[in-house]
Amino acid sequence: MYDVIIIGAGVIGCAVARYLSAYDADVLVLEKNEDVCAGTSKANSAIVHSGYDAENGTLKARFNVEGNCMMDELCRELDVPFERIGSLTVCTDEGDIPALEELRQRGINNGVEGLRIVRRDELLSMEPNIGDDVAAALYAPTAGIICPFKLTIALGENAAVNGAQFKFDTEVKKVYREGGLWHIVTDDAEYTSRAVVNAAGVYSDIFNNMVSTRKLNITPRRGDYILLDRSVGGYVRHTIFQLPTKLGKGVLVTPTVHGNTIVGPTAYDTEDREETATSADGIDSVIAKSAISVKGLPTRQVITSFAGLRAHEDGGEFVLGEAEDAEDFYNCAGIESPGLSAAPAIGKYTARLIKDRLQLGEKADFIKERKDILDPSALSIEERNELIRREPAYGTIVCRCESVTEGEILDAIRRPLGARSLDGVKRRTRAGMGRCQAGFCSPKVMEILRRELGVELTDITKSGGGSYIVSSRTKDGD
Amino acid sequence: MNKAYDIVIVGGGPAGLAAAIAARESGTQSVIILERGEQLGGILNQCIHNGFGLHTFKEELTGPEYAHRFIQKVIDMGIEYKLDTMVMDISPERAVTAMNREDGMFVIDAKAVILAMGCRERPRGALNIPGYRPAGIFSAGTAQRLVNIEGYMPGREVVILGSGDIGLIMARRMTLEGAKVKCVAELMPYSGGLKRNIVQCLDDFGIPLLLSHTVVDIEGKEHITAVTIAEVGADRRPIKGTEVRYTCDTLLLSCGLIPENELSTSAGVRLSPITNGPVVNESLETSIPGVFACGNVLHVHDLVDYVSEEAAKAGQTAARYAQGAVEKGGREIEIHAGGGARYTVPSTVCIDRMDDRLTVRFRAGDVYKDAYVSVYFDEARVMRKKKRIIAPGEMEQIILSREQMKEYPDLKTITVKIER
């Protein structure tokens, strides 16, 4: 029996696990994919919102602003790249400035600091490539950019180090209460726990609806993005949003913490909770809309496009806390934007609720810090040579586009909740994330995975499940 | 470790090998090749088909055989090389920073640097193909490595997008391994590959080549299960109603090669927006003095024979530079690509520095039948050669003669044109 079972190892599930692992509790995280950060958490804008956007008094507003405030310290503790670069929400019509002012006021009410309206002249000095028609912008200096993979992985890893257990490739089929305990039925086992956390992303309504009469309805809302090569990094310096108009919500253009530029998203409601296929129309519209706020964006430097699903609940609001009619069943449902920004606050809040209810004590030996995979490029030549002498694998470059060494890949595989697939390695080290998109390094990474995991090359997957890379030996093979 | 060499060659593929041999033959002793792979020979090692060396050796060799002839010579001549060694940076002053397991990170000061890093394949992401992003999608060269070096099959039911040479070669290779290659779709109305490869790799095996077609959807959440291919119009946009679905477990992409010039850029070398390779003069010297380029990092070639020939030239001129034997100054004459030709390599020539003859290579931007390749010295047409067919997939060349250029003392611009 566990004290708490968390359904889902996305950024929310991992955040809850991490904060819960500070208490004396047996925590189990069940994830249907082969790794943490395999759903919505991996495909989003990779930004931390300032918090002016959500309506006053909403959970979205509260947890966004709280999460934003927590980011510096948390990312320091967990060694996650986070930069407060600020956001600019631009309008192209002087007549829209009152709307920016309204957003500013809303932000102030939400507790966002430093908001101000900037006019075109100042804007040009902040953002030289701003669109020719842009008239003004709402500047939010507390907005930032973050690596969502690294944040989720770090939260999960830190929870694991502090005793939380993770079971991957494990899909929860049924949740029911019996004998004062929660029973969680998976494809191959049944677990019991005192409390359940529903952090199942686009599936969170399903689990809520199994146990509560207050039904939720999640609509997966697909967003297409394009990612530009680092060679055009620095084209914009802030996260640039477009003020929503009658014509639609617009797209954002933002640098990433790794120096790429991300553009998107679209918004298409779907029924399929796994429909992460991009569409030609979607990609075209992202490119077309970006021109409103940023001129001459080098969209020919696209290295990849992708789509993510937002878990949009009918109420348009986060659903947090204990379900009214299901004791010790804690929802973290309907987590769409600004979910990534809010994740630390949601994790901390949910963990507190459970701690108080289950009367959990503080863990005396809680380890709150975690070091990320060593980045050799941050070392001096002398330090780097010392490292290579000690561990020669740091002298071999495996991914030439992102300069990732074998040492980093080995670390990614060997550390707690280590990588078991090409995507797992990619999200931890960036190997394969560069301009050649793993063309050169994938055979090498496959070989390292095969060696480290002690499996056959035919067992290696791109991202778990049936995503095998090679099917069989050639005629002459073996 | 801080060493100095007369010539550092970045890359030990066909270009780097030929450059090293020529540099040594030109009298420069202190030459080192830095190769990132585990052996010399580069991509030739995975090109186990034949057809290499017809021009150079007058016989048909496989890729590894062709490479071996050069590797043996490099070894016989005692030319130094380091394997599994990645060049991390080249400074404008030609300090080459490299790294490997044994030596760690080290800097070599070079009198001359020869860039011979080759090229990479355009990945799926850069093609903006909509749909899912499952396993089973490979660039053709990655699949070639998996099949020929690792000995594993990516799958059994194959669709190929793009008709570049590696894609064509892999259509045959996968077929010979028992896979079913359903079709090769090519966005353009003509193939990007060599005619001989279309005949030998597709026609001979009954694999259809669908010109003016592209992939408009990819199905499969974990592993690819099908693609949809549609015809495209003159604007290269899919035509509604022409979609055909092909089930498959493998999609190979052969949609263009991109010279790998990140290191060149870091050194400050000026690149051509057409070739994505360095802009070079008659000596194959880039915009940075003492930095030379050859092979696929300079512009993508179809035949390795021409890579070797070009690289030998770079080896000679780099040796001359390292020996301090290069005349400074001299009048530069521009070489322009006009009407139908997309680019020329080189793009300038200095009469005082050039050899008696200079090979100028170029590619057409379209297919031309019964057209002329013409060379103009300013306004005067000095050469006109009829060609039955000129295609983007086949590199063309003309030879400039020093004697002839001397007859035009005021010559400013040489223009290479394709004329109907």
Contact: A462, B149; criterion CB under 8 Å: no
Contact: B123, A475; criterion CB under 8 Å: no
Sign of CA dihedral B309, B311, B312, B317: positive
Residue A75 is assigned to a structural domain of this protein: no
**Position A104, amino acid:** R
Contact: B104, A274; criterion CB under 8 Å: no
* pLDDT surpassing 70 at residue A478: no
Contact: B101, A395; criterion CB under 8 Å: yes
Taking contacts as CB-CB distances below 8 angstroms, the residues of chain B near A226 are: 128
User: What is the per-residue DSSP string for B258-303?
Assistant: EE--HHHHHHT--B-TTTSSB---TT-B-SSTTEEE-GGGTS--S-
The full set of domains in chain B, from first to last, is: 1-120+257-326 (3.50.50.60), 123-255 (3.50.50.60), 327-420 (no CATH)
Minimum-distance CB partner of A395 among B104, B139, B150 = B104
8 Å CB contact between B4 and B108:
yes
- Whether A327 and A242 map to the same domain: the answer is no
- Whether A255 and A386 map to the same domain: the answer is no
- Whether A419 and A438 map to the same domain: the answer is yes
Up-side HSE of residue A98: CA atoms within 13 Å toward CB? 1
- Kindly report the nearest CA distance between residue B7 and chain A, in angstroms: 23
Instruction: Determine the distance from the C-alpha atom of residue B322 to the mean position of all C-alpha atoms in its chain, rounded to a whole number.
Output: 26
Up-side HSE of residue B117: CA atoms within 13 Å toward CB? 27
Look at residue A247 in the predicted model and tell me its pLDDT. 65
Contact: A276, B132; criterion CB under 8 Å: yes
Residue A368 is assigned to a structural domain of this protein: no
Residue A473 is assigned to a structural domain of this protein: no
Contact: B105, A231; criterion CB under 8 Å: no
Query: Which has the higher per-residue pLDDT, A303 or A323?
Result: A323
- Whether A196 and A102 map to the same domain: the answer is no
Look at residue B328 in the predicted model and tell me its pLDDT. 72
- B4: enclosing H helix or E strand: strand B2-10
CA–CA distance, A270 with A267 (Å, rounded to integer): 10
Look up the CATH number of the domain holding residue A396: 1.10.10.1100
**Position A126, amino acid:** M
What's the structural domain count of chain A?
3
Minimum-distance CB partner of B105 among A276, A385, A471 = A385
- Kindly report the nearest CA distance between residue B357 and chain A, in angstroms: 38
Taking contacts as CB-CB distances below 8 angstroms, the residues of chain B near A458 are: 152
pTM of full prediction above 0.90: yes
- Whether A213 and A352 map to the same domain: the answer is yes
Contact: A439, B142; criterion CB under 8 Å: yes
Cα distances (Å, whole numbers) of residue A139 to A52, A294, A397, B350: 10, 16, 41, 55
Residue A363 is assigned to a structural domain of this protein: no
A238 catalytically annotated? no
- Whether A28 and A111 map to the same domain: the answer is no
- A355: enclosing H helix or E strand: helix A339-358
- Whether A320 and A419 map to the same domain: the answer is no
- Whether A141 and A270 map to the same domain: the answer is yes
Look at residue B331 in the predicted model and tell me its pLDDT. 86
Structure letter (DSSP) for residue A155: H
Six-digit token pair at A204? 């969170």
ipTM of the shown complex: 0.94
Residue A73 is assigned to a structural domain of this protein: no
- Whether A205 and A255 map to the same domain: the answer is no
CA angle B309, B311, B313 (to 5 degrees): 75
Look at residue A294 in the predicted model and tell me its pLDDT. 97
- Kindly report the nearest CA distance between residue B142 and chain A, in angstroms: 6
CA–CA distance, A402 with A405 (Å, rounded to integer): 9
* pLDDT surpassing 80 at residue A476: no
- Kindly report the nearest CA distance between residue B103 and chain A, in angstroms: 8
Q: What is the mean pLDDT of chain A?
A: 96
- Kindly report the nearest CA distance between residue B222 and chain A, in angstroms: 5
A451-470 residues touching B, CB cutoff 8 A: 457-458, 461-470
Residue A261 is assigned to a structural domain of this protein: yes
- Whether A184 and A333 map to the same domain: the answer is yes
Mean pLDDT of A124-139: 97
Contacts of residue B173, defined as CB under 8 A and 6 or more positions apart, other chains included, come to B49, B144, B147, B148
Chain A residue with CA closest to B124: the answer is: A304
Look up the CATH number of the domain holding residue A301: 3.30.9.10
Look at residue B128 in the predicted model and tell me its pLDDT. 81
Taking contacts as CB-CB distances below 8 angstroms, the residues of chain A near B153 are: 470-474
Residue A173 is assigned to a structural domain of this protein: yes
Identify the weakest region by mean pLDDT among A34-38, A65-69, A280-284: A280-284
pLDDT in tens, A29-59: 999 999 999 999 999 999 999 999 999 999 9
Contact: B153, A463; criterion CB under 8 Å: no
Least Cα distance to B23 among B350, B299, B284 occurs for B284
pLDDT band at A250 (very low <50, low <70, confident <90, very high): confident
Q: Which long-range contacts (CB under 8 A, 24 or more apart) does B230-239 make?
A: B232/B187, B236/B187, B236/B188, B238/A280, B238/B214
Containing structural domain, residue A436: 376-459
- Whether A268 and A168 map to the same domain: the answer is no
CA–CA distance, B348 with B364 (Å, rounded to integer): 19
Assess A180–B contact: CB distance below 8 Å, yes or no: no
- Whether A237 and A183 map to the same domain: the answer is no
Contacts of residue A447, defined as CB under 8 A and 6 or more positions apart, other chains included, come to A457, B150
Burial class (CB in 10 A: 0-12, 13-18, 19+), B87: buried
A373-412 residues touching B, CB cutoff 8 A: 381, 384-385, 388-389, 392-393, 395-397, 400-401, 403
Residue A52 is assigned to a structural domain of this protein: no
User: What is the per-residue DSSP string for A168-199?
Assistant: -S--EEEEEEETTEEEEEESS-EEEEEEEEE-
pLDDT averages per 10-residue partition of chain B, 420 residues: 88 98 97 97 96 93 98 98 97 96 96 98 86 95 96 97 96 97 97 93 98 96 97 96 98 96 95 97 97 98 96 98 84 93 96 94 95 96 95 94 93 95
